[in-house]
Amino acid sequence: MYALPSIFHDYPTLYDEMKEALSRRNTYAHRVYRCKQIAKLYMRTHEKQKIEKIIKLKNQKSKFKR
């Protein structure tokens, strides 16, 4: 394989520009993206809790059948 030169070598200010762009992540699109991520996280935890409740109820019902 051929070694590729570092892009930061050719564009020395690119790294600083990238860091600056990351620090200014307050755009509308970024907020929407973060909201979607958080919503997915809450949905996952909600589904896990729901499944745990169902399993718990099944275990309780099976104890009463004996």
User: Would you say residue 3 has pLDDT above 70?
Assistant: no
User: Would you say residue 50 has pLDDT above 90?
Assistant: yes
Average pLDDT, the chain: 80
Whole-number Å distance between alpha carbons of 15 and 42: 34
User: Would you say residue 1 has pLDDT above 60?
Assistant: no
The single-letter code of the amino acid at 60 is Q
Q: What tokens were used for 15?
A: 């790294």
pTM metric for this prediction? 0.47
Cα 48 versus chain centre, distance: 17
User: Would you say residue 13 has pLDDT above 90?
Assistant: no
User: Would you say residue 23 has pLDDT above 60?
Assistant: yes
Q: How far is CA 31 from CA 36, 38, 41, 64, in A?
A: 9, 11, 15, 50
Q: What is the pLDDT of residue 53?
A: 93
